[in-house]
Amino acid sequence: RGSAKGAADAGALFCAQTLANTPLEDIARASSGPKWFQLYYAKDAGVNRELMQRAKAAGCTAIVFTVDLEWAGNREADRRNGFAFPETLPFPNVPNAPVGATLAELFQVFKRDLTFGDLEFIARESGLPVVVKGVLTPENARECVAHGAAAIQVSNHGGRQLDTVPAAITALPGIVEAVGSSVPVYLDGGVRRGVHVFQALALGAKAVAVGRPTLYSLALGGAPGVTSMFETLKTELALAMKLSGCATVDDISRKFVT
């Protein structure tokens, strides 16, 4: 099964998504830090195999298998605005991606009937630890572990897929309890402040992923903006720990959250 723990301890950076508009190799070369690859699973097994081989060759140490985007959600704003990807915007990590596609058209490339057999395929073909991203129920978490997941990432895809599903932080405790100490559990979604990191750690997460704040900071301040954002989160987390009487991250426990 392997372990994703080392990458998480080092502060893993997703080197690329399948949907990135830059070849994953170029993104990997831009960072000397640890890297993961977030895989959107294609219908063509050969495409998935090739992508994972490229990610591994580029130095990625884990595959993040995204399981909650088999279908594009009800994104009314996109339809209202007539959103489509510009024809000049390539998808170098998505072979045969349609040019100038809408999101729904692009997603026709991806498999829509994912199974636990697909998880086993990824683990077997990549030879890397697999983090299953998009889990919201204890039952799914247990099944993922039984089929080879090295870690679980609790996520509702930023609330952009199925309306009214619970927040990731709401689903987190039940999933942590379900998998116990067998694999680490991570969380993404809604992390905007250091105190949110504190709450996730208190409820059993081993690490959190930060998405939108990274993009906002990049848009406003470039690379220095992203650095500033992470330093702010770090400072806020340290302050939350001081005010709670936690000398180390290991001191953060569920007793601090009601």
Judge whether 39 and 64 are in contact, CB under 8 Å. yes
Please report the pLDDT score of residue 14 as a whole number.
Answer: 62
Residue 3 has pLDDT above 80, yes or no: no
- Tens digits of per-residue pLDDT, 189-210? 999 999 999 999 999 999 999 9
Residue positions counted in the chain? 258
Q: Which residues are catalytic?
A: 157
pLDDT top residue among 8 and 116:
116
Lowest mean per-residue pLDDT among 5-9, 24-28, 253-257: 5-9
Lowest mean per-residue pLDDT among 30-44, 98-112, 199-213: 98-112
N-terminal to C-terminal alpha carbon distance within the chain: 34
Residue 9 has pLDDT above 80, yes or no: no
- Tens digits of per-residue pLDDT, 206-251? 999 999 999 999 999 999 999 999 999 999 999 999 999 999 999 9
pTM: 0.92
Average pLDDT over residues 107-112: 90
* CA 216/CA 229 separation, integer angstroms: 9
* CA 197/CA 202 separation, integer angstroms: 9
- Tens digits of per-residue pLDDT, 59-71? 999 999 999 988 8
Average pLDDT over residues 85-104: 83
Q: Which alpha helices (H) appear in 82-193, and where do they start and end?
A: 103-106, 116-126, 138-146, 168-179
* CA 163/CA 156 separation, integer angstroms: 10
Q: List, in order, residues 6 or more apart from 79 with CB less than 8 Å away.
A: none
